[in-house]
Structure 1
């Protein structure tokens, strides 16, 4: 099979498209012919060797990055029911890095069967990013009476938070970096979409709300944009953080919280795990949302061989929604070179169904 291999920590150019041995499923496992593999910011941290940014130890090299895959079961391990053979499935590989490949193995209890109505790229987006979006939403539990502000609203989690909050009946303000991304957020159904690269974006929000106050902020940007979002919160509001793509978390003090009766929460990690049913339940709900059409993840796709270009685009804020790698079975426009730099591009932005 072909896979992306990282032989040395460094820039995206260290990601190599190579031919490696096919994996075989063990007892209780299946092998998946991968059609789509998810790309996460954690994968870029692994690529750089930034161990302090990872929830797992840096692995020995070489390694194949990636932890979310969707495809078709093509081989069964010992003790696995024949009914799994040929099944469309999606899974999260947990803390194992092996997703950027044409084949992957996983235990049956970690699999989710996919209806034909859910594409492989949508499934990959929902099994990881979708579960996190619903977990973050659960922390704040906004209602139809709230004004909800989402920063990085064109990102993987942000696009889903915009849709989920709209589904609840809330008034949604989406803030994204650049006019093109703001336009995409508007198309997702946000009541107001603004470009947070503009210095006056917060004033634009205040003017548009006409005296209504923001009740919930979902922030994954941090820095000055996060602080501007924080300042838009009314008394009794909630500030929910789940990252800081600007490089530093939003700064505020306990005095800030006390004076305005604001509640601040970091939404990932233990908070999400306390949701009834844990991650498995969130994954089931996210996939069900995609199947029903209630949630449509935005995705930016690259061929598997172009993993380096995918990492470069993700780090350069040049993507919309979830970044997904497609194998040649799903994307026939790329060449099938057996080795070399995984830097070729065939980028495509869609709303996955």
Structure 2
């Protein structure tokens, strides 16, 4: 494997991942490179970007460094071999984040604060504060912190990631390799990118330089709005090769709101095991390409079982969402409020069938 997908935290926490509202501006204005460069934009947003230092919990003798829960086994083994062993001091990690409320609420990556004994947040003016982890969601790699500065802090706003296109200019501000206040710029290389890091992959890909320590930092559009949270890189050697990934702001906003409420994320649950449609089946059914999600198993007493879903059903839509690939169904179900009813359209033995299903609550990992 020549290319590695890594979180962008330093070695102690290395893991798998590494102006006005834009809607009010004409696309040619909002997406053009700012006249004279990015200096004015950097001055406007930099006070809201923070630098995060984490002291991880001490490792027992012989133990490997902490790796986030839910990491695929193959990658856990690969990165586990690179982590420092026990009998040493607790590891230290650096990351980035950004202020989203005047009272000190901060967004960063979950992997930045995973296993943290203590978290410190340093502002761009040099002030430093102890931070509390309000909540963390490893499935999307988003966490919310809170500091008490005693005064209102400069907050930045989220923009609409759905409005961004491949080729649009973006700018990142963060703390790569501990070098705080670092600015890089580039374009969006692709949208809705799946890097197989989790069930909700929908990354913005960018060629703006993203490195270890940029984790949790903001990716801005040219209106100074956050349209992504920098999270991962593909790199054979740990440095930027121009392929970085950011969690889109439209997803982040929902996760942050949920975490801020009670420290956890509530997701819908359907209760099926699914697999992709094969090319052979697609050809038999007369489809140009495979689509939908084939039900392999239905959990006993699950919402799917109660609604009448069966093994072999091919789910073609869930609510208003067409299911072209598996992650379409995963995301649509997860984003549905538990106890809410949804209409499921499926293909069963060559016939279209529509069922109403009342979504359940997905149990937290380890529950």
Q: Which band: TM-score by shorter chain? A: under 0.3
More helix by share: 1
- TM-score after normalising by structure 1: 0.24
Q: Which has the larger radius of gyration?
A: 2
More strand by share: 2
- TM-score after normalising by structure 2: 0.24
